[in-house]
Amino acid sequence: MKGRINIDRERCKGCELCMTVCPKKKIGISKKLNTKGYYPAEFSGDTPQDSDKTGCTGCSLCAIICPDVAIEVYREDKE
């Protein structure tokens, strides 16, 4: 199953809890500050060449633990 997450970088406060729970370790910390002055989390599964191969399973553990509701999770429907 394939999934994808969207992290709202302006809402994220860089607490890194999503990184600790991601089973695929697909979340990293951005090198660029957001406007609040935090280094937000960013999804590292995206490759511009092949947007299907994200490595994300859409388990939504990151979104469940995220204190700032900054993560939206998308998952392909089960066939």
DSSP code of 26?
A: -
Question: Cβ closer to other proteins: 21 or 30?
Answer: 21
Question: Cβ closer to other proteins: 15 or 24?
Answer: 15
Q: Categorise residue 59: left if φ over 0, alpha if ψ from -120 to 50, beta otherwise.
A: alpha
What does the CA dihedral 34, 49, 72, 10 come to, rounded to 10 degrees? Answer: 10
Minimum distance from residue 63 beta carbon to other proteins (Å): 4
Residues that bind other proteins (CB under 8 A): 2-4, 10-11, 13-17, 20-21, 38, 58, 60-61, 63-69, 71-77
